[in-house]
Amino acid sequence: MSDGTTRWLNTAEGGERAAGLVKLRAHAKINLDIHVGARRADGFHDLRTIMQSIELHDTVTLRVIDGPCRVRCSATGVPTDENNLAWRAVCGLWSALGRPGDPRGVAVTIAKRIPVAAGLGGGTSDAVAVLRGMCRLWGVAPDLPCLGEVAAGLGADGPFFLVGGTVLGLGRGEEVYPLEELQRHWVVVAAPPRGVSTASAYGWLARDRAASAHRGESRNRRTRRLPPVVGASLDFGALKNDLEQPVTRRRSEIRRTVRMLAGGGAKVAAMTGSGSAVFGLFTNRAVALEVARGVSYDGWKVTVTQTMDRVRLTRRLWL
C-alpha cells in the first residue's frame, strides 16, 4: 500500500497529477420521493426514498502534509474539527485500515457551493469525496469493502454518494439500489436563508401524525401509492415527500416557493430531504431560467443545474 509519497499518480482520465494533491467534485442530491414509515427501536424511521444526483457540487481538495489531519471550509459556521463529516471520513478510513492513533498527513479544503442544512446532502457528499480522495492518496482500492461501512457511518445517505445517479434507498436510506436512470432534466434549486434541522422536521411529522390519529383522520400518507422503481419510468404524479407538509405548515416561504415552481411548469416541485431547499424539474432550460428568476428572493440561494447519471458522474469526478 502506498503511503502517499509516490511522485506521480495517474488520474481516471489517463493524465498525470503531482502526488500528494487530489481535487474532486462532491455533487449534491435531491430526494424525488420520501416515504417515512414507523419509528424503529434504534430511534430512526424506516424510509423508502428515491435519490437523484445533480450537477451542483462542492470542490474538495486533499493535500499531503506533515502533522495531524486538518480541515478547512469556505462556508462560515461549518465546523473544522471532529464534528465535520470530512474529518470523520478521514478518521473512519484511517481506523478501518488499522492505522493507530489520530489521522495524520492530510489537509482537506472544501470550497462550498451546496447550501448548508438544506436537505441537499452537501456535508455527506463532501465526506464521501474525501474517502475517494484518501483512497487515491493512500493507494487504497476504491472498491474496498470497508469503504461502504465508513460511508454509512457518515450519514444515512453516505452509501448513495458512492453510487450516484437515480437510486432507491431503504432502511434509514443507507440500503441503496441503483435504478433505471432518470432522463436528464434541468433543476431549479432554491434554498432559503434559514435552514431546517432534521430533528425538527421529523418532530413536526410525528406531532402532526399524532394529532391526525387523535382526530381519527385517515392517514393516507402511509398507504399512498408508491412510484414504480424497477424496470419502469418514474410516475412523477406519485412522487411525494412525507416531510414536506409538516415543514411547510411551519415555514410558509417554503410552501410558497414550491407552488411557484409548480405553477411555472415543473414536472415535479417539492422540498428535498428534511428541507429547507426546494427544487423543480424542467425539460426546458429557458423555462427553468425564467422560473428561477421568479423565486430569487432576498437572501435565497437559487441555482439552475441539471440531473446527473452514473456515467457522467464518473467522468466528472476528478478535477
| Structure confidence by residue, pLDDT tens digits, 21-35 | 999 999 999 999 999
- pLDDT tier for residue 140 given thresholds of 50, 70 and 90: confident
Q: What is the mean pLDDT of the chain?
A: 88
Whether residues 216 and 279 share a domain: the answer is yes
The tens digit of pLDDT for each residue in 161-175 reads: 999 999 999 998 889
Whether residues 101 and 150 share a domain: the answer is yes
Whether residues 163 and 30 share a domain: the answer is yes
Whether residues 176 and 52 share a domain: the answer is yes
Among 182, 214, 243, the domain boundary falls at: 182
Among 134, 165, 182, the domain boundary falls at: 182
Whether residues 35 and 47 share a domain: the answer is yes
The tens digit of pLDDT for each residue in 184-196 reads: 999 999 999 999 9
Catalytic site includes residue 240: no
pLDDT at residue 2 in the model: 34
pLDDT at residue 17 in the model: 43
Query: pLDDT at residue 304 above 90?
Result: yes
Among 155, 182, 209, the domain boundary falls at: 182
Whether residues 95 and 201 share a domain: the answer is no
Query: pLDDT at residue 38 above 70?
Result: yes
- pLDDT tier for residue 271 given thresholds of 50, 70 and 90: very high
Please, is 34 exposed, middle or buried when counting C-beta atoms within 10 Å of its C-beta (0-12, 13-18, 19+)?
buried
Please, is 288 exposed, middle or buried when counting C-beta atoms within 10 Å of its C-beta (0-12, 13-18, 19+)?
buried
- pLDDT tier for residue 15 given thresholds of 50, 70 and 90: very low
Overall number of domains in the chain = 2
pLDDT at residue 44 in the model: 84
Whether residues 163 and 291 share a domain: the answer is no
Closest CA to 92 of 53, 134, 60: 134
For residues 229-256, average pLDDT: 88
Catalytic site includes residue 157: yes
Q: Which of 33, 126, 157, 242 is catalytic?
A: 157
In a domain, 316, yes or no: no
Query: pLDDT at residue 223 above 90?
Result: no
pLDDT at residue 7 in the model: 26
Whether residues 125 and 140 share a domain: the answer is yes
Q: Give CA–CA dist 16/156, Å, rounded.
A: 34
Query: pLDDT at residue 4 above 60?
Result: no
Predicted structure pTM score: 0.89
Name the most confidently modeled range: 5-19, 93-107, 241-255.
Answer: 241-255
Whether residues 216 and 278 share a domain: the answer is yes
pLDDT at residue 217 in the model: 65
Whether residues 12 and 142 share a domain: the answer is yes
Cell numbers placing 81? 474539527
Whether residues 105 and 239 share a domain: the answer is no
Whether residues 196 and 168 share a domain: the answer is no
Strand, helix or coil at 36?
A: strand
pLDDT at residue 300 in the model: 97
For residues 60-84, average pLDDT: 90
Domain that residue 267 falls in? 186-310
